[in-house]
Amino acid sequence: HDCSRTCGSILSPDLLSWSVCTDDVSGSSAEYPDRVSMMEGRLQSQEDEITLLKSSLADALRRLRLHDQLIPLLKQQIIAGGWPTIRPQLYSFNIIVSRKLSSSSALDSPRHPATRYCARPVERDCGHGMGWLACLSRSCLTLFFSLSHWLTGQSIKMFIRGRPITMYVPSNIQNYEDLRMEPPVEKLELDWVYGYRGRDCRANLYLLSSGEAVYFIACVVVLYHINNRTQRHYRKHTDCVRCLTIHPDKVRVASGQTAGVDKDGKPLQPYVHIWDSSTLITLQQIGLGTFERGVGSVAFSFADAGAFLCVIDDSNEHMLSVWDCAKGTKHTEVKSTNEAVFAVEFNPSDSTNIITCGKSHIYFWTLSAGSLTKKQGIFGKYKKPKFIQCFVFSLTGDVLTGDSEGNILTWGKSPGDVKTLGKGAKETFQIMRQTRAHDGSVFTLCMLQGGALLSGGGKDRKIIRWSADLAPERECEVKDVCVRAYVNGEEVLVGTTRNAILRGTFSDGFVAIVQGHVDEMWGLATHPSQDVFLTCGHDRQVCVWNTEEHKLDWCTTLEEYGLCADFCPNGAVVSVGLSTGRWLVLDLQTKEVISDYTDGNEQLSVMRYSPDGSFLAVGSHDNFIYVYNVTESGRRYSRYGKCNGHSSFITHLDWSKDGKYIMSNSGDYEILYWDVAGGCKLLRNRYESKDREWASYTCVLGFHVMGVWLEGSDGTDINALCRSHSERLVAVADDFCKVHLFQYPCPKPKAPNHSYEGHGSHVTNVRFTHCDSHLLSMGGKDTCILQWEVKRAGTGDGGDRLHSASFTSSPEP
């Protein structure tokens, strides 16, 4: 029971001692009325425990095999001089002690407390990190010497999915127990947001009176000053923003979000924020507890200067609700339809009149006496389109809709058909005119001054200007399908389904002012000496960006999609690993593919050049790391060797500073070390690598980053991490939309950290820029790249002081 005193008493010749015994279970039948079923229960629980003990034993045996070459050495040592090399604290760490279990078990009686035994990870360890704790009967003690630890000194175990991962404590840390972690002095500040959500959202691009375009991606609403090329960000949303509208004053903004889930999968409540775009202050939070799943559309009323806000949520019934903007109270609410709803607007001249459209419908709502009544638009002799995508009010009060048939329909009110329907017949909304506009869907309509109209098409990728009487006047082809147009004088802003925002005029054409990926992204690499980074993703695009100018430098589309990338240390070329085992080397100047290789036929997960650029390591899902000689400044590659030993796919790898060794992680949470210079050999004794210095640190499993893992983590909770070049910080990309900043090294669990929100999906990668001035993070499916400025609080001295303080060790007793 007392770890410090029971150790060292057993050392059998094979160095592994294992003994299990239980209490005498005999007792009077009076004490145990249902002895058989109890024994059955007991047997079952013993079987469970034995399974656990077996797995511990298997783990020990695995290590035994790994270290069998060391056993003779230890024997010699013991024969020669007893225990000279083994420090007392090591004994205790490696012992499984018996401990009484809770006495709630039916088997426990006053006479036989805790007759069950079990093995499980310990919460309270015996001095050094974690181990396995076997709970045995009171009268029995099992000592279990884990050989690797014995032979190798201090180690720490962490558990992922019940799997123990052993990490060796570097020798510059004398006293792991006394290490104290501080939060990093540095903080992150959101500097720039790359991307625009146009792929699956509409009506989400407006121009404010300040000259800023307002749009959103992930959880961030971006205010982008087009001429000044500056950004501000509204960041009060806790999950992806889905819709946006601006107030008639062109200052206030309403934005609605999806519900999302918290870390434990519990659904959160969606809401709409009304906020002031000049101060970024939230004025109202609307609908918390009312909306379900998310908010699909929002609209301000115009006739009364924006007194009301209309909201449609994402519940099955698509609840339509009207809110008092000043008070934030609900005016009225009604089920709209079970079909998808795409847009809602108030009639600009009459706030009691609201229109919604969506899958095969357009509804005309009337608000009277606090309740909403609906009238369906009647298609009559016209073909009912599958989707009505958008609508606008013309200056004459008609409603114009754009639909999936490529038509613009003009709707008007007809008096009740008294002839056929009798005296009580009510007025109806009917199609007055159908105008052929585009091939494929009409995705957006936008009113211009003087009654002219702008339409954006699907398949034909055209923007057309129409006169007030719907005669085509001008047209212009843009690269993408546009989903939103906004006109400011002559100038048109267009949001596209390829997540780009274009700006231009009919006479001069259009240029992209915002660009982004359109599918899940994983590959991220920063340039070794310039303010440049590269991204790649499932959209098959490889994009090179400039962090200083905040823009896309260039982009190329590959045949397969890229998952990982690394710049050659000379900065002239970059290699990109693809989904098929193929990898390409691109010249950054000419943008051309200069080398094209294939290793295996599974996806590649990591590319990493050695620090001097003489080797390239390619980590694959086929469990191998392929190593190449690199010559001619990164232009020639020849296979040097293959690291063969992982039993699962490679997830991360790093080179040692001397460029001779590799540390790698795999899908089954293994940490392995490789002697590359010596022929890509697996280093069987992992302890020997404990003091090795790493040129980069991106492995998510390792002593130096152990503290970034939360207790009870699933092994996939952290997708990527990255040490800063200063070796003071480690940034972490987690599976819960967050970016964390820790002090490096971070070897203690529950390490303090700063955490940052903004992404709307699992964060797939993080990288510091070459001089650590910025951190880049990318959220896989949210197609958003966030650029964070690394802010040092106060002077750098404070940081140094804390940094070294964390690693001060007390003298060994």
Ligand X SMILES: *[C@@H]1O[C@H](CO)[C@@H](O)[C@H](O)[C@H]1NC(C)=O
Of the pair 509, 678, the CB lying nearest ligand X is at 678
| Neighbouring residues of 24: CB distance < 8 A, sequence distance ≥ 6 | none
C-beta closer to ligand X: residue 454 or 731: 731
Contacts of 269 (CB under 8 A, 6+ apart): 259, 288, 289, 291
Closest CA to 647 of 694, 682, 617: 682
Q: Which residues are near ligand X by CB under 6 A?
A: 210, 212, 225, 228, 230, 629, 638, 640, 708, 710, 740, 752-753, 755
Measured between alpha carbons, how far is 372 from 55 in angstroms, rounded to an integer?
65
Residue with tokens 């229960």, as numbered in its chain: 41
CB of residue 98 to ligand X, shortest distance in Å: 31
- Residue among 220 and 431 whose Cβ is closer to ligand X: 220
* 271, 256 Cβ separation under 8 angstroms: yes
* Cα–Cα separations (whole angstroms), residue 737 to 240, 276, 758, 762: 10, 26, 7, 5
> Which H or E run contains 433?
strand 428-436
Exposure of 614 by Cβ count < 10 A (0-12 exposed, 13-18 middle, 19+ buried)?
A: middle
- Specify the residue, 97 or 181, whose C-beta has the smaller distance to ligand X: 181
> Considering the complex, what minimum distance in angstroms separates the CB of residue 705 from ligand X?
11
Least gap, CB of 676 to ligand X (angstroms)? 8
Smaller CB separation from ligand X, 242 or 740? 740
Distance of closest approach, residue 230 Cβ to ligand X, in angstroms? 5
Residue 449: CB minimum distance to ligand X, A: 24
Smallest gap, in angstroms, from Cβ of residue 228 to ligand X?
A: 4
| Count of CB atoms situated within 10 Å of the CB of 356 | 25
Q: Closer to ligand X by CB, 210 or 556: give it.
A: 210
Please, which residues have CB within 8 angstroms of residue 603's CB and are 6 or more apart in sequence? 563, 577, 578, 579, 580, 581, 620, 621
User: Any bridge partners for residue 143, and if so which?
Assistant: none
* CB-based contact 257:224 (threshold 8 Å): no
Taking the complex as a whole, how short is the minimal distance between the CB of residue 268 and ligand X, in angstroms?
18
Cα–Cα distance, 20 to 346 (Å, whole number): 77
List the one residue out of 788, 607, 778, 782 whose CA is nearest residue 698: 607
Q: How is residue 656 annotated by DSSP?
A: B
C-beta of 291 vs 744, nearer to ligand X: 744
Nearer to ligand X, 538 or 728 (CB): 728
Shortest Å distance, C-beta 706 to ligand X = 12
Q: How far is the CB of 442 from ligand X (least distance, A)?
A: 33
Neighbours of 257 (CB within 10 A): 26
- Least CB distance from residue 659 to ligand X, whole Å? 9
Q: Are 132 and 124 a contacting pair, CB within 8 Å?
A: no
Of 540 and 740, which has the nearer Cβ to ligand X?
Answer: 740
Residue with smaller CB distance to ligand X, 533 or 626: 626
Taking the least distance from each CB to ligand X, the nearer of 275 and 640 is: 640
**Minimum CB–partner distance for residue 710 and ligand X (Å):** 5
- 401 contacts 391 by C-beta, under 8 angstroms: yes
Q: Judge contact between 636 and 647, C-beta under 8 A.
A: no
